Every structure is written in structure tokens, then in C-alpha cells.
């Protein structure tokens, strides 16, 4: 009896490619379905001859066929490439200092598998590794100067092009922060599927920042109101960052809002605004709903393709 084989891939047409079974023997254990095109030649899992082959996007049938042709008369499919039924997510998330980006990024990464990329962490890692970009950045940092956009953009670009980002998708945290950074990313071809903006009232942000304290021994961050230290011994050694004062945080917020207005004008059509002044579970529920809807729309669009 003929068997049925399903592939969760989308096939798009272009000349110079063929799809065929490599053996005409129905009992051959070496019978494979192979794809030949100008870009790649992956071998698919073993498929018995006399198989009904169907190509599907998620659970939607795109095309099917029952095959028992001689090799010389094998059917030819014109193929550009193959894409998974649910393409990797490309997400940008932004918010003011203390808006909860780090917490939400962790939750998004855990559920959707996207690679979390924070420009600040990336910069520090490159400097620590002593990469070419890191060495250039260190020269400016040692002089107390800001790292030029061209260096930072190059770091982000190279990280977005790594295999894990291409395969699993990416979650760009707090970047871009200016129109020039956004424009540079667009020039390199990086366009997010969605831009998430966490909105929190300024007075709440100021309270969150001013109440933060650092344990110099463990590196753990506490908050005097929302996450107080466990013991008096820990409380006695806590320190406050020099820029976590009310005056300085208000200046940072003013700068953030100015830059964000310009960035949002670029991503206006794909921006969702999330109420960040809520428990982290409720904030994530808003984000999760938006991402799930995005994937649902994608699958519906893929399902409408026909051979």
C-alpha cells in the first residue's frame, strides 16, 4: 500500500530546479527525495517509492501528488527556497529605563525561542572578547566618549546574521534608539515583524529607578519598596548607582522620549503599545496575545498559497 509523506514547507517557483525520487525501486532503502536548485541541495528523510507526497504550510495542503514515474520522466517543480511554516519572529521591544524590558524579554525568549539581543550587553561582550569591533569601541570608551553609531550598528548587524538568530528569530532589546540607527538597520535589510513599546507613567518610572539598590557582593539588584533585601546585613552594604537619582533619571527619561518619538515614526505601522504599569504576568499576557495573533495571520497567509 502506498504511504503518505508530509513536509511542513512552502515551495515558491523559480526555474532551474527539480524534485524527484532517486530510485525507481519501491523496495530500495536508499530511495530519497532530493531537491536540486541553484541555492542548496538538502537530502530529505527516506521516502519509499510509490508515495503520495504532499507539501503543507502548517496544516494547510498546498499541493500533492502520487509518484511512480521513471527517473527520466520525474516531475519537475521550480523552487526558490524552503521556509518553515512558522517563520522565525523578528521583534523589537522598547521602553523607558525601568519599564520592565528585561523581564519581558526573558519571558518572550522562553516561550518563542527568539535570540535576545541587547545592544549594551553586546557592546560589553565584544569589548571583553577583544573582537575588532570591540577594540574600536574600547578606544572611545577609555576616552569617555560615546561609541559611534557605525560601530554599534555593525555589532548589531553581525549578531543578527549569526545562524542562531537566522534560525530562531531575534528579539532586539532597546534598539534602535535613534532614527539614524533605525535607518542603518533598514539599509542592511533588517525589518521587524512587530515593534513593542512598553508604556509606564513617568512618576512610576522615577519611583522604580530611585528605589533601586545594588548588592556589590552578589551583583543582585534590589528595590527598597518592591523587592527589599532579605537581611539587615545585605541592606547595610547596598549601594545606589550614581545616575539613579531623581534629577538624573528625569533627564534620561526626557532624552528617551525625544528619541522614541522619532523611532516610532519609522515603525508606526507595526507598533503595539503595551501597558507596562501592571504585574509582569499581565504585561506579558498583552505581548503574548499580540505575538500569537501575528503568527496566526502568517499561517493564514501561508495557507492561502497554492501550487
Of residues 59, 237, 241, 280, which has the active-site annotation?
A: 241
Residue 113 has which C-alpha cell? 525561542
* d(C-alpha 27, C-alpha 66), whole Å: 17
Given 56, 101, 136, 154, which residue is catalytic?
Answer: 101
d(CA 25, CA 5): 17
Asked whether 11 and 20 are in contact (CB, 8 A), the reply is no
Q: Examine the residue annotation and report whether 59 is marked as an active-site residue of this protein.
A: no
H-state helical runs in the chain: 101-112, 119-129, 132-142, 149-160, 163-168, 179-187, 202-210, 232-237, 246-266, 280-303
Catalytic residue, candidates 124, 157, 252, 298: 252
Written as nine digits, the cell of 146 is: 560615546
Give the DSSP letter string of 205-266. HHHHHHTEEE-TTT--EEETTTB--SSHHHHHH-B--TT-SHHHHHHHHHHHHHHHHHHHHH
Q: CA 192, CA 195: separation in Å to the nearest integer?
A: 7
Q: How far apart are CA 38 and CA 14, in angstroms?
A: 10
- For residues 272, 297, 159, 267, the Cα torsion angle rounded to the nearest 10 degrees is -30
Does the annotation mark 252 as catalytic? yes
- Which residues have C-beta within 8 Å of that of residue 248, sequence separation ≥ 6? 242
User: Which residue out of 136, 208, 212, 213 is catalytically annotated?
Assistant: 212
Is residue 241 flagged as an active site residue?
A: yes
Catalytic site residue 213?
A: no
CA 244/CA 222 separation, integer angstroms? 13
Catalytic residue of the set 154, 159, 177, 213: 177
Placement of cell 519501491 in the chain: 26
Give the three cell numbers for residue 152: 554599534
Q: Which active-site residues does the annotation give?
A: 101, 177, 212, 241, 252
Amino acid at each position: 500500500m502506498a504511504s503518505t509523506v508530509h513536509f511542513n514547507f512552502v515551495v515558491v517557483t523559480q526555474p532551474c530546479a527539480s524534485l524527484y525520487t532517486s530510485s525507481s525501486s519501491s523496495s530500495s532503502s536508499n530511495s530519497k527525495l532530493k531537491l536540486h536548485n541553484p541555492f542548496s541541495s538538502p537530502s530529505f528523510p527516506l521516502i519509499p517509492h510509490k508515495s503520495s507526497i504532499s507539501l503543507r504550510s502548517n496544516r494547510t495542503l498546498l499541493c500533492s501528488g502520487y509518484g511512480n514515474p521513471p527517473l527520466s520522466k520525474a516531475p519537475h517543480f521550480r523552487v526558490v527556497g524552503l521556509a518553515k511554516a512558522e517563520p522565525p519572529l523578528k521583534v523589537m521591544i522598547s521602553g523607558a529605563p525601568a519599564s520592565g524590558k528585561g523581564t519581558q524579554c526573558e519571558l518572550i525568549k522562553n516561550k518563542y525561542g527568539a535570540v535576545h539581543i541587547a545592544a549594551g550587553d553586546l557592546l560589553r561582550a565584544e569589548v571583553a572578547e577583544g573582537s575588532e569591533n570591540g577594540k574600536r569601541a574600547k578606544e572611545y570608551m577609555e576616552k569617555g566618549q560615546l561609541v559611534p553609531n557605525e560601530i554599534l550598528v555593525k555589532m548589531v548587524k553581525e549578531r543578527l546574521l549569526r545562524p542562531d538568530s537566522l534560525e530562531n528569530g531575534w528579539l532586539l532589546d532597546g534598539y534602535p534608539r535613534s532614527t539614524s540607527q533605525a535607518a542603518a538597520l533598514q539599509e542592511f535589510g533588517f525589518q521587524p515583524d512587530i515593534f513593542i513599546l512598553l508604556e509606564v507613567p513617568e512618576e512610576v518610572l522615577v519611583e522604580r529607578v530611585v528605589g533601586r539598590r545594588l548588592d556589590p557582593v552578589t551583583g543582585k539588584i534590589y528595590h527598597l519598596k518592591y523587592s527589599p533585601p532579605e537581611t539587615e546585613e545585605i541592606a547595610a552594604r547596598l549601594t545606589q548607582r550614581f545616575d539613579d537619582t531623581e534629577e538624573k533619571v528625569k533627564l534620561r527619561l526626557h532624552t528617551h522620549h525625544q528619541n522614541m518619538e522619532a523611532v516610532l515614526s519609522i515603525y508606526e505601522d507595526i507598533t503595539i503599545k503595551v501597558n507596562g504599569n501592571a504585574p509582569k504576568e499581565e504585561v506579558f499576557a498583552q505581548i503574548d496575545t499580540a505575538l500569537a495573533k501575528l503568527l496566526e495571520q502568517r499561517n493564514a497567509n501561508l495557507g492561502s498559497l497554492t501550487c
